[in-house]
Amino acid sequence: MNADWIDLIEKMRQGSVRALSRLVSRVENRDPGWMEAMQQIYPLSGQARLIGITGSPGAGKSTLTNGMARELVSKGFKVGIIAVDPSSPFSGGSLLGDRVRMKDLWDLDEVFIRSMATRGALGGLNQSARDVANLLDAFGKDFVLIETVGVGQDEVEVVRAADLVLVVCVPGQGDGVQALKAGIMEIADIFVVNKADREGAEELFLDIQSMLDMDSNQDKPRPPVLRTTANQNQGLPELVVSVLDLLKSSRHRQAWKKIRIREELIGLLEKQLTGWIKDQWEKDGDLEKAVRQIERRERDPYSIVRERLDHLMQNMRKDDPSGKR
Task: Say if CB 51 and CB 192 are below 8 A apart.
Answer: no
Checking if the pLDDT of 181 tops 70, the result is no
Q: Rounded distance, CA 62 to CA 66, Å?
A: 6
Q: pLDDT (tens digit, 9 = 90+) per residue, 271-308?
A: 888 888 888 888 878 899 999 999 999 999 999 999 98
| pTM flag (> 0.85) | no
Lowest mean pLDDT of 95-104, 230-239, 314-323, name the range: 95-104
Q: What is the pLDDT of residue 321?
A: 60
What backbone phi and psi angles, to 5 degrees, belong to 113?
A: -115, 135
List, in order of start, the domains of the chain with CATH numbers: 1-44 (no CATH), 46-250 (3.40.50.300), 262-319 (no CATH)
Q: Rounded distance, CA 93 to CA 251, Å?
A: 40
Checking if the pLDDT of 150 tops 90, the result is no
End-to-end alpha carbon distance in the chain: 31
Residue 18 DSSP code: H
Residues 261-277: what's their mean pLDDT?
A: 83
Q: Rounded distance, CA 227 to CA 236, Å?
A: 9
